[in-house]
Amino acid sequence: MDLTKKTKENILFMVEAIKEKLRMANVDAFKADNFNEEMYEDLKDIYEMVMNKATFSISEMQAIAAELGNLRK
């Protein structure tokens, strides 16, 4: 997967990976269709941070969910 390209497929991949890693309960709020290519770099930053961290506190998960909420179109 080449995440340097701003494609819908990459957005879908990153959103799904974030949801799986964080085991998010309200996954419907974070559908890949809710994000667009204008927000790609911000989404990629969140994705990379989530993938590089082994565990998350509840407050970190809430902050990530809030940031993803802010990125939705």
- Enumerate the domain spans of the chain: 8-71
Residue 14 pLDDT level (bands cut at 50, 70, 90): very high
Under 8 Å between Cβ of 47 and 14: yes
User: In this predicted model, what pLDDT tens digit does every residue of 23-67 receive, in sequence order?
Assistant: 865 666 677 788 888 889 999 999 999 999 999 898 998 898 889
Residues ≥6 apart with Cβ < 8 Å to 56: 22, 50, 64
Residues ≥6 apart with Cβ < 8 Å to 30: 15, 18, 19, 24, 65, 68, 72
In this prediction, residue 23 carries a pLDDT of 80
In this prediction, residue 40 carries a pLDDT of 92
In this prediction, residue 61 carries a pLDDT of 87
Supply 12's token pair.
């879908």
Residue 21 pLDDT level (bands cut at 50, 70, 90): confident
CB atoms within 10 A of CB 49: 14
pTM of the model: 0.81
